Amino acid sequence: MRKPRWSEALLSIPSFGWLVVFFAIPTVLVVALSFKPTDLTGSAGSGWTFDTWRSLANPVYPLIVWRTIWLSASCTVVCLLLSVPVAYWIARLDGKWRQRVLLLIILPFWTNFLIRIFAWRTLLHPDGYLKSICVALGWAEPNDQLLYNNGAILLVLVYTYLPFAILPLYAAAEKFDFSLLDAARDLGATKLRAFRSIFLPGIRTGLLTAFLIVFIPALGSYAIPSIVGGPSSEMIGNKIAQRATTDRNLPHAAALGTLLTITIFVPLGIVALLRRRDRLAAAARPSLPGTLIP
C-alpha cells in the first residue's frame, strides 16, 4: 500500500480536532465524574469514590439495563426482518418507481421526530383512533392499555428506526447481482434457499450496518420511552435524564451514562468480531490447500 503523504494527513485535522474537543474529552469527563462523590447541590464534590458505582448494584438498575438491551434487540430484529424483504423489493423495482418508494421511506423525516412520537401517543391513547379500531376489530378489550408499556415503546422504536434499517440494506441490495439468484435456482435451489444462501450473504455488509445503525441509537433511546412508556418501562436514557435533572445527582447520571457506553460496546464488539473473521478467512484462503466444504 502507498504511504499516506504528510500533507494529506492535514486534511483530517479539523474533524479530528472536532472529535477530540466535543467527543473524546467530554466522554473522559463523564467517566471521571462517575468516580466523584456527590455534594449537597448534586454536583461533583472533592476526592474520588466508588460509591456511585456500588449503588448501581441496586436491583433496579440491572433490570433497567436488561430492559434497555432486550427492547433495543427486539427492535433491531423486527426492523431487520421487515426491511430485508423491503430492500429486496426496492432493488428489484425499475428506476422510476425506486426513486418514488425511496422518497416515501424518507418522507417521515420531514416531520419533527418529537411530533411523530406525540402522534403515536394520540393514536394509542385510550380514546385514540388506533385503539378504537383495535376494539372494533376485536383485537383489544375496551379496558386494554395500549400506551405507557413496553409494547408501545417497541412499536414506536420500530417505527422510528425502520427507515434507518431499510436504507443501508437497500444500498447493499442495489449492488447485489440478481443473476446470482437465477444461477442458484438453475442449480436446483428453491426460491427460499436461493434467498437464504445467496441473497442474505450477498448483502452481509448491509445487514451489519443496519444492525449497528438501529441497535446503538435504540440503546440510547430517551424521548420514545419517556413519551409513550410508563414508569415500569424506563430505559437507561430515562434514568440518566432523571438523575441529571429531577434528582440532581450528576455523578450518578455520569455513572449511568458510562454504563450505557459500555453496553454499546457489546453490538460493536459483535460486528468487529464478525468483520475480523471475514478478513482472516479471506486472507487465509489462498494459502490453504484444504479440501473442506462446510
| Interface ranges with another protein (CB under 8 A) | 177, 179-180, 182-190, 193, 197-198, 201-202, 204, 282, 285-286, 288-291, 293-294
In this structure, what C-alpha cell is assigned to residue 289?
490447500
Q: Nearer to another protein by C-beta: 168 or 202? A: 202
**Minimum distance between the CB of residue 212 and another protein, rounded to whole angstroms?**
20
Kindly tell me which of 14 and 294 has the beta carbon lying closer to another protein. 294
Amino acid occupying residue 7: S
Min CB(211)–another protein separation in Å: 18
CB of 150 to another protein, least distance (A): 37
| Residue with smaller CB distance to another protein, 184 or 218 | 184
In the complex, least distance from residue 65 CB atom to another protein, rounded to whole angstroms:
36
Q: 138 vs 286, which CB is nearer to another protein? A: 286
Closer Cβ to another protein, 142 or 286, answer by number: 286
The number of CA neighbours under 13 Å toward the Cβ of 206 is 25
Q: Which residue is listed with cell 449492488?
A: 175
* In contact, 149 and 232? CB cutoff 8 Å: yes
Task: Cite the DSSP H helix spans in 35-112.
Answer: 51-55, 60-92, 95-106
Asked whether 169 and 210 are in contact (CB, 8 A), the reply is yes
C-alpha cell at 220: 440510547
CA 68 to chain centre: 11
> Cα-flanking dihedrals φ and ψ of residue 44, to 5°?
-75, 130
Strand, helix or coil for residue 44: strand
Grid coordinates given for 153: 415503546
Residue 100 vs 191, nearer CB to another protein: 191
For residue 213, the minimal CB distance to another protein (Å) is: 22
Give just the sign of the alpha carbon dihedral 188, 192, 195, 196: negative
Among 145, 97, 96, residue whose Cα is nearest residue 125: 145
Evaluate whether 120 touches 156 at the Cβ level (below 8 Å): yes
Shortest separation between residue 95's beta carbon and another protein, angstroms: 18
Nearest distance in Å: CB 195, another protein: 13
Torsional sign, CA 221, 223, 229, 231: positive
- If the CB atoms of residues 197 and 245 are measured against another protein, the closer one turns out to be 197
